[in-house]
Amino acid sequence: MHTVAIAVVLSMLCAPCAFAGAVDANEYQKRLKVYQTIEPVGQSALGESINLYTGETSFTHTDLRFEGIGPPIEIVRRLSRRDGGQDGVPNGFGDWHLALPHIATLTPGNEGWQVGADAPSVARCTQFGPMYSPPEGAAPRYGGLDQRQWWRGYQLVMPNAGTQDLLRRTASNDRKPTTGTWPAVTNAHWQVGCLPATRNGQPGEAFVALSPDGLKFRLDHLSYAFYPPLSQNVSMEGKPAVYTLTRRMARMHVTRVEDRFGNWLDYTWEGHRPTRIAASDGRIVSFEWDVASARIVSITQQPGSAKQRTWRYAYRDNRLSSVTLPDGSAWSFDIGDLVAASPRSVSLSGCFASGFDPIGGAGSTPAGQFDATATLRHPSGLTGTFRLAWRLRAQSSVPSHCMGQTSMYESLNPYYRTLSIIDKILSGPGVPRQAWTYAYSPARASVDRMCTQGCATTAHVEVTDPA
């Protein structure tokens, strides 16, 4: 018994020595396999993400994940009304958005990314704070619009960590790297520090972001793009008027990702277009663009080598229609008006009063009618159809300021509309038809002066799964 026990122990100790290479290769192959073949169909089989508060629906697909020593190279596509509906903002894939790490913010008029309450400064990191507002009105106003109406702050966008608001660090928050200036944080424990200059020659400072697991992102390639203007009813000398503010989208793009051990990815840019991602261990991914249309037509892994693999992108009417994978299988898309559907404004017939709702309860698309239908087909053959309609939504206890002379109106409208999912239908080879339906509670808006006795504070959505 003693001899057998020793033999077993020795065998166990030697097994890793004899088969270490095989085990490591097998484990690496398991990690790569899901990205080299058709992805398994899971609960969100078509990459859908549904916001159960608003009903808004987005899609996220990872086309390529190239692993090695150091950070993986990932190419992620995202479809969202918030990304694809920004006329003039280059997305890379037509109506789909190329999701690479960056910091985003809005700038007013033709002003660049400047901060400061009284005088503009491009020390946008060391003096981290609200966007500078030119002196047409007292800061924080821009012309006739309050800064809170046209500006949404700063967003840190990471493909695998979502969109996070950047928050100014408080004096009591001293958990930060011991070197450098780190003026901003996120609620997901990311830290944002300062770089003295941008890499592409734009004036001013840039940023570095540190993830909770120690990845460091240099965000120092600054680009600007047109962003839809904002119009607002304002009061000028007691009379209603319309003020229009032009805006630009500013993005501070990633140029390097580095892990704790010094392994890195370098990103090469031409304007707003990434052209190449190279890793310290020799991995390379290159982008081919149709410059005239600002669209990606192909992405190649290890270009020029015997192991070259290419993903190809086709478009119809400036919309992504298919993605052909290296093995010949393909995604196909007919997104319809999911992104293009024009937002419907909500107008009020007066001011809120006891027993009087100035919208009269209207505003949603009638039941049984749809404003957008999107169909996606997975490489496995699974097909999903998503039907959406405009639904009236509301906020409660909104600050009220009844304005005007002959015609009265609320300065802040508590009503808004969202393009909300109504049903989702899946079908395909070996998959029986399955349908989910979504129903939303009525919109119940209120203003603060009407809420002394309490107002609605909850809303609900009813989701019916397949029978």
Q: Look at strands 216-236 and 206-210 and give their pairing.
A: antiparallel
Contact criterion met (CB below 8 Å) for 274 and 98 = yes
pLDDT at 348: 81
- The encoded tokens of residue 400 equal 């009220």
Q: How far is it, in rounded angstroms, from Cα 83 to Cα 384?
A: 21
pLDDT at 237: 65
Going by C-alpha positions, the residue among 57, 96, 83 that lies closest to residue 384 is: 57
Burial 315-333 (b: 16+ CB within 10 A, else e): beeebbbebbbeeeebbbb
- Lookup result for tokens 């319309």: 242
pLDDT at 423: 97
Q: How far is it, in rounded angstroms, from Cα 266 to Cα 256?
A: 5
Measure the CA dihedral 215/217/218/222, to 10°. Answer: 180
Q: How far is it, in rounded angstroms, from Cα 77 to Cα 64?
A: 10
Q: How far is it, in rounded angstroms, from Cα 311 to Cα 327?
A: 9
Residue type, 29: Q
pLDDT at 138: 42
Measure the CA dihedral 186/187/188/189, to 10°. Answer: 60
pLDDT at 16: 37
- The encoded tokens of residue 116 equal 């400061």
By CB atoms closer than 10 A (0-12, 13-18, 19+), residue 304 is exposed
- Domain limits, the chain: 43-328, 341-467
The three-state secondary structure class of 61 is: strand
* Residue pLDDT tens, the chain, 467 long: 333 333 333 333 333 343 333 334 343 333 443 334 444 455 688 999 999 989 999 999 999 999 999 999 999 999 988 654 455 566 899 999 999 999 999 998 788 999 988 789 999 999 999 998 766 544 455 556 778 778 899 999 998 888 999 999 999 999 899 899 999 999 999 999 999 999 999 999 999 999 999 999 999 999 998 888 887 766 666 666 777 888 899 999 999 999 999 999 999 999 889 999 999 999 999 999 999 999 999 999 999 999 999 999 999 988 999 999 999 999 999 998 888 777 777 878 888 887 788 886 568 899 899 999 999 999 999 999 999 999 999 888 888 888 766 677 787 888 889 999 999 999 999 989 999 999 999 888 888 888 877 788 888 999 999 97
